[in-house]
Structure 1
Amino acid sequence: MKICIYGAGAIGGYMAVMLKRGGADVSLIARGAHLEAIRENGLKLLLDDREIVEHMPATSDPRELGAQDYVVVALKAHQAWQVAEDMVPLLGPDTAVVTAQNGLPWWYFHGLGPEFADYRLQSVDPGNRQWNVIGPERVIGATVYPATTITEPGVIKHIYGNQFGLGEPDRSESARVKRLAEALEAGELSPRFYDDIRNDIWIKLWGNLCFNPISALTGATLDVVATDPGTRTLARNMMLEAQAIGEKFGATFRVDVERRINGAAKVGAHRTSMLQDVDKGRTIELDALLTSVQEMGRLGEIETPFIDSVLALAQQMGRVKGLYPVFPETDPVQEKAAS
């Protein structure tokens, strides 16, 4: 089984080492000092008290690798949009593309139902780039739960967790998802199949869409955002707006708002990924986490005053700091599925 990890960062690198140990034929797309270190010394994973080193093909040019059975896209959503055309050499007739990103995915409405069939989320796929180049029929949806970090070029540290959610956009139990799950299990990872992966996408997004921007705007850690009366109330109201949107389009939420917020509070003094990105001057992943939810709210004619306010503040903060990506101008509600 040939698996290319497109984006061998903290999560992608972790997956690559574990899949390689499980017997998969793994290759990597990486760049910069990280790529050079992998080429020279292999990819090192610090797992519990072990140091695991795996050697595998690594390049910045997908043309060197050829068609794959699976391409795991382990980039942030805006990065995946930028490199969609670059993935083409990896795509054979039966290649599956696993979208291992946070937030609402660009393929969300594929196979969902007749009323909004194949509506295309412009906030995460402006101009339908991924839809047209990759194609939603290739997609396997995924949710990612492990926490990992790059400690230095070529070195990944595992912090906790090994669970991944998997599911077909059309809700089928496909052979390709089963084979991928078997490869993950062989690598001591823990895949879980969902009849509708969108439900798990919403559960993970539910906290990210409020805790990340509030944390980035205030500098507060997760425990503070989730327990301070003001920010907790703001987060709760944003989550309730998001729940109404998800349910409008058929999603179900297996936990309630208070339990989700309390769970976040128990994580402790965690600096959210968006806060870390702001601290390090990296582009923030705002559109997949929040703009996309606003877009779906408008499509479903659901008012989102709390989401709108926090999004406007976070966008302005990102623009001022030069951390918010500029996409082509689009009118999300008018951009229906165009051929």
Structure 2
Amino acid sequence: MRYVVIGAGAIGGTIGARLAEAGRDVVLVARGAHLDALRESGLTLDEPGRSRTLRLPAAGGVDEIGWQDGDVALLCTKTQDTVVLLDALRAVAPAVPVVCAQNGVANERFAADRFASVQAMCVVLPAEHLTPGRVVAYSTPVPGILDIGRCPEGVDAVTEVVAADLTAAGFSARTDPAIMRAKYRKLLLNLGNAAEAACGPDDPDLRELADLARAEGERCLAAAGIDVQSREEERTRRGGFITEEPVDGAARQGGSTWQSLRRGAGSVEAEYLNGEIVALGRAHEVPTPVNALLLDTVAEMAASTEAPGSRKAQGLLATVG
């Protein structure tokens, strides 16, 4: 099996590099300065106590890949880029299995509309990508938990092979026939991403703001009758696997939305995190003022390339009263 990693940033870069180190065939898909750096100098993966640079094939788009039987597309982009990429992928590889290694729960819907074989992956991988050509993974004793299952449910041969390859690459990866339960729990956790990005991880009122967003999410998922992994199940799954440590004396600065603002990416995936909850709230008449505010705030910050941490949680809390 060859892994075509679409989006070789913090998540895709870490997964792709480790799969290659484990002897798997890997091609990275990236863009801009990051693609240039991959082609010129290789991909540097830094982890606690370890750094290395790998020379891997890198393409600027899925149309540059010579697709073949046995390939799998590992989608690691932000959700706002998914539809365009899936349409481009379908044009050149309509039968390829697609693995959604992304936050949120919308990517699987988008992929299932276009491809027959779709896998959902619940990604717990504390990593950072701020510099072209470099990704940093902060967790020990494993870099991440990457559980996988067929979408919408079940396990098949692709699920088994991908999980085995990821395990060989040093991740904790299990097959899960009800993987979307875990992805909905991860969605609830990710509702705090926008708050962290807007206010910064050191804001004294950040936790209160994030907890309010998650409480709205819990109420919306319950109203919609969606089966969600319990907090206890989630904590048990992470236990003993995910411990963040500094790399080169520096701790991880912020999560994925914070990093998007830091890089000046121009867009964030909050529409498919907080926005997912806002949409459910409208459908089931559950108020979601905190998630709506966070969505609008980080979207505004991204559009104006405002630096992360520029807002105050206390001020946002006062807005929703």
Q: TM-score, normalised by structure 2?
A: 0.77
Q: CA deviation at 1:149?
A: 2.4
| Pairwise CA distance, 1:176 | 1.1
Which residue of 1 is the match for residue 72 of structure 2? 70
AA at the equivalent of 2:127: T
Provide Cα deviations, 1:197-232, integer angstroms capped at 9, x if missing partner.
2221122221221x2222333345376512xxxxx1
Divergent runs of 4+, >6 A: 266-269
Structure 2 residues not aligned, in runs of 5+: 245-250, 308-321
Counting only pairs closer than 5 Å after superposition, residues 39-50 of structure 1 correspond to structure 2 as 39-50=39-50
Question: Cα RMSD between the aligned structures?
Answer: 3.1
Look up the match of 1:142: 121
Name the structure 1 match of 2:196: 215
- In the other structure, the counterpart of 1:3 is 3
- The equivalent of 1:274 in structure 2 is 257
Q: Following TM superposition, by how much is the alpha carbon of 1:151 offset from its aligned partner in structure 2, in angstroms?
A: 5.8
1:249 aligns to 2:228 (yes or no): no
Give me the whole-angstrom Cα distance separating, in 1, the residues matched to 2:61 and 2:295: 35
> What is the CA deviation profile of residues 171-194 of structure 1, one whole-angstrom value per residue up to 9, with x for unaligned ones?
212111001111111212221222
User: Identity over the aligned pairs, expressed in percent?
Assistant: 26
Which residue does the alignment assign to 1:169? 151
- Residues 185 and 222 of structure 1, relative CA distance in 2, 3 Å threshold: farther
Separation in 2 of the partners of 1:144 and 1:290?
A: 18
1:189 aligned counterpart, secondary structure: coil
- Structure 1 residue 245 displacement after superposition: 2.4
CA distance in 2, matches of 1:55, 1:192: 28
1:236 aligns to what SS in structure 2? helix
Residue 156 (structure 1) shift:
2.3
- TM-score, scaled to structure 1: 0.73
8 Å CA contact 1:223–1:269 kept in 2: the answer is: no
Quote the residue 2:291 is aligned against: 307
* One-letter amino acid of the structure 2 residue matched with residue 35 of structure 1: L
Which residue in the other structure is 1:239 paired with? 214
1:284 aligns with 2:268: yes
Contact in 2 for aligned 1:104/1:293 (Cα 8 Å): no
In 2, are the aligned partners of 1:167 and 1:194 still within 8 Å (CA)?
yes
Q: What are the equivalent positions in structure 2 for 1:119-130 lying under 5 Å apart?
A: none
Pair 315,14 (structure 1): closer, same or farther in 2 beyond 3 Å: closer
Q: 2:137 aligns with which of 154, 158, 162?
A: 158
| Residue 80 of structure 1: aligned partner | 82
Deviations 1:113-172 (CA, angstroms, capped at 9, x unpaired):
xxxxxxxxxxxx6xxxx554x33x321011211222236432322211321121122321
Give the counterpart letter for 1:306 in structure 2: V
Assess, with a 3 A threshold, how the Cα gap between structure 1 residues 17 and 321 changes in structure 2: closer, same or farther.
closer
CA distance, structure 1, for counterparts of residue 94 and residue 263 of structure 2: 37
Query: How far off its partner does 1:79 sit?
Result: 1.6
171 and 269 in structure 1: CA distance in 2 versus 1, 3 angstrom threshold:
closer
Any conservation in 2 of the 1:22–1:186 contact (CA below 8 Å)?
Answer: yes
Label 1:250 to 1:149 Cα distance change in 2 as closer, same or farther (>3 A).
closer
Judge conservation of contact 1:148–1:158 (CA < 8 Å) in 2.
yes
1:180 paired residue among 142, 159, 162: 162
SS in 2 for 1:102: coil
Distance 1:303 1:311 in 2: 14
Matched with 2:247 is: none
Contact 2:78 2:102 in 1 (8 A): yes
Q: Give the AA of the match of 2:125.
A: P
Residue type of the alignment partner of 1:143: C
Q: When the two structures are aligned, how many residues end up with a matched partner? A: 287
